[in-house]
Chain A
Amino acid sequence: MIVIAKNNKVVEAFYKDQVNMKVLIARYPAYSILESNTIFPPELMSQLARIYDGQVVKKPSVLVFLDKKRVVADGIDEVEIRVEIVDCQPGETINEIELKIDEVVVPLELEDNKGSILFSTKIKGLHIISIDSSDVLFMEECVLAI
């Protein structure tokens, strides 16, 4: 697979047998053109892959665990949000990640690619927990506050 990259981000990708390298070089003069062994459908490559140490690799995944999914909206009852980053490259550590709870961004310090924080709320309803970054893969979690 051939990947067009800029600033360590995948911009576009093509199957190797479907492109002419001379045309690509002419079309993307200011970009890096890399050959990749990591293969995803070209249209998903920018979402799923990144450039690390000059190589095209899968983005790390952020696993979010909650010790419970329901909390009393009194500001006292709390949920432990644990975060673990997997699929990092050998020796790679991520020291901080930004959790996004509804529209509020909360920096979370990590140690050995793991971190946790206690969450409480005074607002009833469903709170969506996500990660404020396009550099990692994640699935949203939610907490119901009653």
Chain B
Amino acid sequence: MRVIRNGNKITLVEGESSPDQDNLNIVIEAINRIERFLGLKETKFEEDK
């Protein structure tokens, strides 16, 4: 069982968590935070609207 993260949405899927996927999730989350910090994203749900 592992999590795929896309912005503010997480999806639980079958399979082992891999270091590459974990690192990718960390990078995606870091980019999201920077974008929110810079005001490029007004809300956490913008991409889902």
Contacts and interface: CB of A to CB of B under 8 A. Distances in A.
Chains A and B bind each other: yes
Interface of A: 75, 78, 101-104, 106-107, 109, 116-123, 127
A117 B24 CA distance: 18
A116 B44 CA distance: 9
Contact of A123 (B1, B17, B45): B1
A104 B17 contact: yes
A121 B4 CA distance: 10
Contacts, number: 49
B14 A122 contact: yes
Interface residues on B, range: 10 to 19
Contacts of A107: 29
24 contacts: A78-B9, A101-B10, A101-B12, A102-B1, A102-B12, A104-B1, A104-B17, A106-B5, A106-B10, A116-B8, A116-B44, A117-B8, A117-B10, A118-B8, A118-B45, A119-B9, A119-B10, A120-B9, A120-B12, A121-B11, A121-B12, A123-B1, A123-B12, A127-B12
B38 interface: no
Contacts of B48: 118
| 10 nearest A-B pairs in the assembled complex, by CB-CB distance | A121-B12, A118-B9, A120-B11, A122-B13, A104-B3, A75-B11, A123-B12, A106-B10, A117-B8, A119-B10
Nearest to B32: A109
A96 B9 CA distance: 16
Nearest to A109: B33
Contacts of A127: 12
B19 to A, nearest CB: 15
From B2, B11, B17, name the one whose CB has the most chain A CB atoms within 10 angstroms: B11
Given A117-B10, A119-B10, A119-B11, 6 more contacts: A101-B10, A106-B10, A119-B12, A120-B9, A121-B11, A123-B12
